[in-house]
């Protein structure tokens, strides 16, 4: 039901997911297609054996930005799963196949959770709240402080997003696998497009490590180039000196290249001086895009 283990440093994680006695209050999961398909995540047997009787029917997950989620725990045949609320939690954080999640148990059915994407970088945790009409009975999130909402100031709204038929888990995984096989010669990062990338606010987050190590510190614009050579100028701004957002111009790039939720984009830095990123697109319904 997914890879699992116990260390917070991914390079030191044992291949077979076991928990050492010194870190048995933590475990990790590598997200596999079965977790996405079943909409629940199994808690490792060793952790369940030690703490299963202590866990209540509802547990608390806290992510680094302070958001709190309540998830239901399913118990059957001496096994435990995060179930009710897991789907909402996963969708809100755009968790997909290949992601890596670290759960640190803090007692009293409370966990601190860290989520890492396909680049092995910790994700940017979304801070926008869900509407009351969309709020599930479990998986509830609590509002952030008012000052945390500034990350979306100046972000344009997408009114003409492209739509396609819903994609299957297999189609989504095929796009992810194709992108993972692609190895650019230059520095790059990979993004699996989610709702907030292609609908409504239309914003794309650049991994902090990539921006810090490879992009100009004072940049205001980035150019996105597809394989045919055509370029789009996209404005960007930095939040709290660490999170780089692509905003105005991103919706145009997305629309003109027919991007939809689930597509995978590889952004390769081909001109460091001018901050030009070549974008290779791996679609959920088709192969790598060429122009």
Higher local confidence (pLDDT), 29 or 237: 29
Looking at residue 126, its pLDDT comes to: 80
Cα-based distances in Å from 161 to 79, 136, 169, 202, 267: 42, 26, 22, 9, 21
- What's the whole-model pTM score? 0.48
Q: Considering just the CA atoms, what is the radius of gyration of the chain in Å?
A: 20
b/e sequence 159-183, b meaning 16+ C-beta within 10 Å: eebeeeeebeeebbbbbbebbeeee
Kindly report, residue by residue over 191-240, the tens digit of the pLDDT.
888 777 777 567 787 877 788 888 887 778 899 999 889 999 998 877 65
pLDDT for 189 beyond 90? no
Cα-based distances in Å from 21 to 50, 109, 112, 197, 277: 11, 20, 19, 41, 45
What is the rounded CA–CA span in Å between residue 168 and residue 237? 34
User: What domains can be seen in the chain, in order of their start residue?
Assistant: 3-144 (2.40.330.10), 149-282 (2.40.330.10)
What is the chain's mean pLDDT, rounded? 74
Residue 130 buriedness (CB in 10 A; 0-12 / 13-18 / 19+): middle
Pair 199, 261: CB distance under 8 Å = yes
């Amino acid at each position: 039901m997914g890879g699992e283990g116990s260390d917070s440093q991914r390079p030191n994680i044992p291949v077979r997911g076991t928990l050492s006695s010194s870190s048995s209050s933590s475990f990790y999961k590598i997200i596999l297609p079965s977790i996405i398909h079943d909409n629940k995540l199994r808690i490792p047997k060793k952790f369940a054996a030690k703490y299963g009787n202590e866990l209540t029917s509802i547990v608390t997950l806290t992510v680094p930005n302070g958001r709190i989620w309540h998830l239901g725990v399913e118990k059957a045949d001496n096994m435990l799963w995060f179930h009710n609320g897991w789907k909402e939690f996963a969708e809100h954080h755009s968790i997909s196949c290949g992601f890596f999640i670290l759960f640190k148990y803090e007692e009293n059915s409370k966990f601190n959770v860290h989520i890492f994407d396909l680049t092995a970088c910790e994700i940017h945790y979304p801070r926008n709240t869900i509407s009351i009409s969309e709020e599930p009975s479990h998986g509830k999130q609590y509002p952030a402080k008012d000052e945390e909402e500034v990350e979306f100031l100046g972000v344009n709204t997408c009114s003409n997003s492209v739509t396609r038929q819903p994609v299957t888990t297999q189609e989504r995984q095929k796009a992810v696998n194709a992108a993972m096989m692609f190895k650019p010669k230059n520095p790059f990062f990979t993004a699996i497009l989610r709702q907030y990338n292609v609908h409504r606010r239309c914003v794309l987050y650049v991994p902090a490590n990539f921006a810090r190590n490879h992009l100009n510190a004072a940049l205001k614009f980035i150019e996105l180039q597809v394989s045919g050579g055509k370029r789009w100028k996209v404005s960007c701004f930095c939040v709290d000196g660490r999170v780089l957002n692509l905003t105005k111009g991103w919706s145009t790039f997305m629309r003109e290249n027919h991007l939809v939720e689930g597509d995978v984009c590889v952004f390769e830095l081909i001109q460091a001086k001018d901050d030009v990123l070549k974008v290779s697109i791996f679609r959920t319904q088709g192969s790598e895009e060429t122009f």
